[in-house]
């Protein structure tokens, strides 16, 4: 009974935290007048979600503010790039009438969404330098673990459709934070899998190198 109560308390606390950071995301986006605030605010939200997923307890407002300032310039530039690309794709989809071009645009749009999903988690997770590198890696992660990306799109699409249809008020309080929590969780699974595979490959290469050295050492050179 006690364990059930503790579990319920943990669930309600998590929901309240998501509502809290959803409000913070809106406030800090407005603080940056929208176009200057959406990038840093999204980066801060994803970084907070990453801490929760990793089991860390943190002071939410103080940490959010620190993350908001941390990569401000880069976050703004990245948000502008993706907003511009998204705007161009959306306008083209609305205006292009040729069926083949529309199919091509839909493919480009899907690739764009893959990159959007992983760009802010990459910023929060890795200390890589350069916007272009991060954009390339966001696409690489999305394509390398396509099954995770497709599952994410399917599950979140169904959940948000159900929320909008049956519980529209939920979107107001959890619409942004739950979406980016889901994105961060999915990205964390992908990063973990890729890092494990990279570690295994490194160990195999080291093992091969050791065996080659042993064989080479056994050859007598006259």
Q: Report the pLDDT value the prediction gives residue 218, as an integer from 0 to 100.
A: 40
Residue 152 included in any domain: yes
- Measured distance CA(160)–CA(154) in Å, rounded: 10
Q: Report the pLDDT value the prediction gives residue 195, as an integer from 0 to 100.
A: 85
Number of domains in the chain: 1
- The whole-model pTM stands at 0.86
pLDDT of 76 strictly over 90? yes
Residue 94 parent element (H or E) = helix 72-95
Q: Are 118 and 184 in contact (CB under 8 A)?
A: no
Mean pLDDT of 44-73: 94
**Phi and psi at residue 36, to the nearest 5°:** -95, -10
Residue 222 included in any domain: no
Mean pLDDT of 202-219: 50
Q: Are 139 and 90 in contact (CB under 8 A)?
A: no
Q: Are 186 and 50 in contact (CB under 8 A)?
A: no
- In this prediction, residue 197 has a pLDDT band, given cuts at 50, 70 and 90, of confident
Residue 51 included in any domain: yes
Q: What would the pLDDT profile of 143-186 be if each residue is shown by its tens digit?
A: 988 999 999 999 999 999 999 998 888 898 999 999 999 999 99
- Measured distance CA(167)–CA(14) in Å, rounded: 19
- Measured distance CA(177)–CA(123) in Å, rounded: 17
Return the number of other C-beta atoms located less than 10 Å from residue 152's C-beta: 21
In this prediction, what percent of the chain has a pLDDT beyond 90? 68
Residue 219 included in any domain: no
Residue 221 included in any domain: no
Work out the angle at residue 74's Cα, subtended by the Cα atoms of residues 46 and 127, and round it to the nearest 5 degrees. 65
pLDDT of 208 strictly over 70? no
Domain span including residue 111: 2-214
pLDDT of 3 strictly over 80? no
Residue 188 included in any domain: yes
Residue 35 included in any domain: yes
């Amino acid at each position: 009974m006690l364990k059930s109560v503790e579990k319920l308390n943990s669930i309600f606390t998590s929901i309240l935290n998501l509502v809290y950071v959803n409000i913070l995301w809106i406030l800090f986006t407005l603080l940056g007048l929208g176009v200057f605030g959406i990038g840093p605010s999204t980066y801060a939200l994803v970084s907070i979600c990453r801490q929760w997923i990793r089991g860390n307890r943190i002071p939410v407002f103080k940490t959010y503010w620190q993350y908001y300032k941390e990569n401000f310039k880069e976050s703004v530039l990245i948000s502008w790039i993706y907003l511009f690309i998204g705007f161009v794709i959306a306008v083209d989809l609305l205006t292009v009438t040729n069926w083949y071009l529309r199919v091509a645009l839909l493919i480009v749009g899907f690739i764009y969404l893959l990159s959007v999903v992983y760009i802010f988690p990459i910023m929060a997770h890795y200390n890589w330098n350069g916007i272009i590198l991060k954009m390339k890696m966001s696409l690489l992660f999305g394509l390398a673990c396509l099954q995770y990306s497709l599952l994410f799109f399917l599950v979140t699409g169904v959940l948000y459709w159900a929320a909008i249809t049956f519980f529209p008020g939920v979107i107001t309080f959890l619409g942004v934070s739950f979406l980016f929590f889901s994105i961060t969780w999915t990205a964390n699974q992908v990063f973990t899998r890729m890092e494990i595979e990279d570690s295994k490959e490194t160990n195999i290469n080291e093992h091969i190198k050791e065996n080659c050295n042993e064989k080479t050492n056994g050859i007598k050179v006259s």
